[in-house]
């Protein structure tokens, strides 16, 4: 199975999209974190989610221990999507992997979007909390209750299953250091929830492109709670960058076509406040 098939789960959109929107979930999360998004996206966009080992269709796989190997796999999977403009969206811890992966893609993304994550200091640590078993279990328990799970037996089982995955992701973050210099050349838009306690701070130190911060009323899971506000705003802000990227790619088509035969053209939960 290819990296694209293993590391990316396609959730919605056409087979030949105008934009590839790739979500990188936060700690402990998998593709389900993006299930609220499709109805708020342009019909011409395809939505995919990164899926790390230990969750979703990869539930039985050993948890990842090397953050750079994770990023390498994400890069290979996104590169395999082809020439369509890419928008990377990283939630909380996933924003760090979106930052690192976006700077390594063979073709720079049209836009990188961070959600509910403070920018790490260049050359510094992730800023994520260290694993704490009692606190992590309380957080996951509260999150499951908020999502409607109230049966004590099921709750305990889900907490037991979820806590090791959540903590493995926090451990990954503890082994990662932010790039010392800007690795992105594309614009970066950073969304912050007004109830999350994070100051709306642009990720300007990590890109040579434009960087802006946007506040929306909501909490740490802004992309789920406020998808009806966030996604139209995101797609509107992405439009100009996608048009430029598409035009750039189209200028390269004649040269690419001369080298290939006809018909062979290529068709990410973090405890609130832990990312300060």
- pLDDT classification of 142: cutoffs 50, 70, 90: confident
The phi and psi torsions of 145 (rounded to 5 degrees) equal -65, -45
Whole-number pLDDT of residue 9: 96
pLDDT attached to residue 3: 65
pLDDT (average), residues 102-119: 96
Asked if pLDDT for residue 258 goes beyond 50, the answer is no
Per-residue model confidence (pLDDT) at position 158: 86
Read off the pLDDT band of 2 (50, 70, 90): low
173 or 253, which is more confident? 173
**Beta bridge partners of residue 48, listed in sequence order:** 10, 22
Q: Is 95 helix (H, G, I), strand (E, B) or coil?
A: helix
What burial class does residue 55 get, using C-beta atoms within 10 Å of its C-beta: 0-12 exposed, 13-18 middle, 19+ buried?
A: buried
> What's the whole-number mean pLDDT along residues 199-219?
97
Counting other chains too, the contacts that 184-187 makes at CB distance below 8 Å and 24 or more residues apart are: 184/99, 184/102, 184/103, 184/108, 184/109, 184/112, 184/208, 184/209, 185/108, 185/209, 186/102, 186/108, 186/109, 186/110, 186/111, 186/112, 186/241, 187/111, 187/112, 187/211, 187/212, 187/241
Give the pLDDT mean for 171-197: 96
Residue 268 has pLDDT above 70, yes or no: no
Compute the distance between CA of residue 144 and CA of residue 72 in angstroms, rounded to an integer. 31
Can you tell me which residue has the tokens 């609130």?
A: 272
Spell out the residues 6+ positions from residue 176 whose beta carbon is closer than 8 angstroms to its own.
67, 68, 96, 100, 125, 126
Cα–Cα nearest to 87, from 131, 129, 34: 34
For residues 51 and 273, the model is more confident at: 51
Mean pLDDT of the chain: 88
Question: Quick check: helix, strand or coil at residue 185?
Answer: coil
More confident residue, 144 or 276: 144
Q: Which is higher by pLDDT, 147 or 79?
A: 79
What one-character DSSP code corresponds to residue 200?
Answer: -
Average pLDDT, stretch 38-57?
96
Tell me, what's the pLDDT at 218? 93
Residue boundaries of the structural domains of the chain: 3-127+178-257
The correct CATH number of 3-127+178-257 out of 3.40.50.300, 3.60.15.10, 3.40.50.1970, 3.40.50.1820 is 3.40.50.1820
Confidence check: pLDDT of 126 > 60: yes
The crossing angle, in degrees rounded to 10, of helices 133-146 and 152-174 is 130
Taking only the tens place, the pLDDT of each residue in 213-238 is: 999 999 999 999 999 999 999 999 99
Per-residue confidence (pLDDT) for residue 252, from 0 to 100: 59
Strand partners, 87: 21, 111
């Amino acid at each position: 199975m290819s990296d694209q098939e293993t590391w990316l789960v396609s959730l919605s959109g056409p087979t030949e999209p105008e934009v590839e929107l790739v979500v990188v979930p936060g700690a402990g999360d998998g593709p389900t974190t993006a299930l609220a998004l499709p109805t708020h996206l342009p019909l011409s966009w395809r939505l995919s989610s990164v899926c790390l080992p230990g969750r979703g269709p990869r539930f039985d796989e050993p948890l990842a221990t090397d953050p750079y190997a994770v990023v390498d796999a994400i890069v290979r999977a996104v590169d395999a999507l082809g020439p369509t403009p890419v928008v990377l969206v990283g939630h909380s811890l996933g924003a760090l992997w979106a930052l690192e992966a976006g700077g390594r893609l063979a073709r720079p993304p049209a836009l990188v979007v961070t959600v509910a994550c403070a920018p790490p200091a260049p050359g510094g640590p992730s800023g994520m909390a260290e694993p704490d078993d009692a606190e992590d279990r309380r957080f996951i328990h509260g999150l499951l209750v908020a999502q409607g799970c109230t049966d004590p037996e099921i709750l305990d089982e889900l907490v037991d299953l979820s806590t090791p995955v959540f903590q493995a992701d926090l451990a990954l973050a503890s082994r990662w250091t932010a790039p010392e210099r800007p690795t992105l050349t594309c614009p970066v838009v950073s969304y912050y929830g007004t109830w999350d306690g994070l100051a709306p701070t642009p990720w300007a130190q990590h890109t040579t492109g434009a960087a802006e911060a946007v506040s929306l009323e909501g909490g740490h899971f802004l992309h789920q709670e406020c998808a009806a506000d966030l996604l139209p705003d995101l797609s509107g802000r992405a439009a100009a960058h996608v048009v430029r990227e598409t035009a750039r790619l189209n200028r390269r088509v004649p040269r690419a076509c001369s080298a290939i035969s006809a018909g062979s053209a290529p068709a990410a939960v973090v405890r609130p406040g832990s990312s300060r």
